[in-house]
Amino acid sequence: MNEELKEQMHQFLYSNWNLSMDSVEEALNELIQDYGRASLHCDLELMEKFLSSGETDEWKTHFIMENTDIYWPNMEDSPLEWLNGVKLRFEHELANKS
């Protein structure tokens, strides 16, 4: 994975899921409400590139955990499952904003 993609993914994760959020789901809902179609599409592509990169699932999991302030032991999903869920939610919202 190139450095630019890592930096973009870091910014996406850390700027949206940090200590200022009330809850993980609320942060996602606020993000979707605030985003227009172009922003949804851009970050959807970013997540797709990250998830389909040649890095191992272990590396991706560690990256997600290091770049969010989510308390993972309280989460039902693994970091990769969670990010896939965020991606699916973006896809759904993008389809609805057409």
Give the number of domains in the chain: 1
Residue 47 maps to a domain: yes
Residue 14 maps to a domain: no
**Residue 89 lies in domain:** 22-96
Residue 75 maps to a domain: yes
Tell me, what's the pLDDT at 65?
Answer: 96
Residue 88 to residue 2: CA distance in whole angstroms: 24
Half-sphere exposure of 14 (CA within 13 A, CB side): 9
Residue 33 maps to a domain: yes
Residue 3 maps to a domain: no
pTM: 0.91
Residue 57 maps to a domain: yes
Tell me, what's the pLDDT at 98?
Answer: 63
Residue 58 maps to a domain: yes
Residue 11 maps to a domain: no
Low-confidence ranges of the chain (pLDDT < 50): none
Tell me, what's the pLDDT at 21?
Answer: 80
